[in-house]
Amino acid sequence: MPPLTLDDLGVLREVTVSADGSVLVIITPTYSGCPAMATMRDDLEHKLLEHGYDHVHIRTRLSPAWSSDWISTEGRRKLSAAGYSVPGPAPQRTAGPVPLTLTPRPRTINCPQCGSPNTVLHSEFGATLCKAQYRCSDCLEPFDHVKEI
């Protein structure tokens, strides 16, 4: 999702600069095993080194798990402007075991191109696990929906 920063996406959790000038960055993946994490880490390290921070440490924090609710208002605006369908509220979970469901949750998704709710799920998984592929039955455009997690 190129138009978003890691802060927009809610992946950037904490940045601490110590007295000696070293930087500690905490990030949380959108999914366990997210294939973009290596790129995110490399981009963060490169930018910080480019801006004069010689000692950069990037750590991954898995708890609490990332939620699509962490996407900022600006991030949602950028997603929409780029043609993505933005997520609704994340499902509320209670403590204890997470139920295993083998079918996608039913969603009412409006087409980001024409606004029609007449859309069809094409694939629960898009180019990344955090997106599903839909098609609008009115304008016939395919689009990605960022899932509620």
Which tens digits make up the pLDDT trace of 68-99?
999 999 999 999 999 999 998 887 777 777 66
In a domain, 64, yes or no: yes
Q: Domains in the chain: how many in total?
A: 2
Residue 9: predicted pLDDT: 94
- Look over the chain and give the mean of its residue pLDDT values, rounded to a whole number: 90
Please tell me whether residues 122 and 63 are part of one structural domain.
Answer: no
Yes or no: say if 88 and 80 are a contact pair by the CB < 8 Å rule. no
Residue 3: predicted pLDDT: 81
In a domain, 99, yes or no: no
Instruction: List the single range of 7-21, 41-55, 98-112, 120-134 with lowest mean pLDDT.
Output: 98-112
Please tell me whether residues 60 and 2 are part of one structural domain.
Answer: yes
In a domain, 29, yes or no: yes
Amino acid occupying residue 140? L
Please tell me whether residues 23 and 69 are part of one structural domain.
Answer: yes
Higher-confidence residue of 104 and 67: namely 67
Amino acid occupying residue 126? G
Yes or no: say if 107 and 92 are a contact pair by the CB < 8 Å rule. no
Which tens digits make up the pLDDT trace of 88-132?
888 777 777 766 776 666 788 999 999 999 999 999 888 888 889
Residue 16: predicted pLDDT: 96
CATH number of the structural domain spanning residue 71: 3.30.300.130
In a domain, 94, yes or no: no
Q: Single out the residue in 57, 77, 97 at which a domain terminates.
A: 77
In a domain, 98, yes or no: no
Angle at 127 between CA 125 and CA 128, to 5 degrees: 70
Query: Within a 10 A sphere around the Cβ of 31, how many other Cβ atoms?
Result: 15
Its pTM stands at 0.82
Report how far residue 94's alpha carbon sits from residue 65's, in angstroms, rounded to the nearest whole number: 13
Indicate whether 56 pLDDT > 90.
yes
Angle at 48 between CA 40 and CA 46, to 5 degrees: 50
Q: Single out the residue in 26, 56, 77 at which a domain terminates.
A: 77
In a domain, 101, yes or no: no
Which DSSP category does 103 fall into? Answer: S
Which residue blocks in 4-145 are alpha helix, DSSP H? 6-9, 37-50, 73-81
Residue 129: predicted pLDDT: 80
Report how far residue 7's alpha carbon sits from residue 44's, in angstroms, rounded to the nearest whole number: 11
Please list, residue by residue across 109-142, b when 16 or more beta carbons sit within 10 angstroms of its beta carbon and e when fewer do: bbbbeeeeeebeeeeeebeebbbbbbbbeeeeee
In a domain, 7, yes or no: yes
Model confidence at 52, in pLDDT bands (50, 70, 90)? very high
Range of the domain at 1: 1-77
- When computed from its CA atoms, the radius of gyration of the chain, rounded to whole angstroms, is 18
In a domain, 52, yes or no: yes
Model confidence at 14, in pLDDT bands (50, 70, 90)? very high
Residue 102: predicted pLDDT: 66
Q: Single out the residue in 23, 56, 77 at which a domain terminates.
A: 77
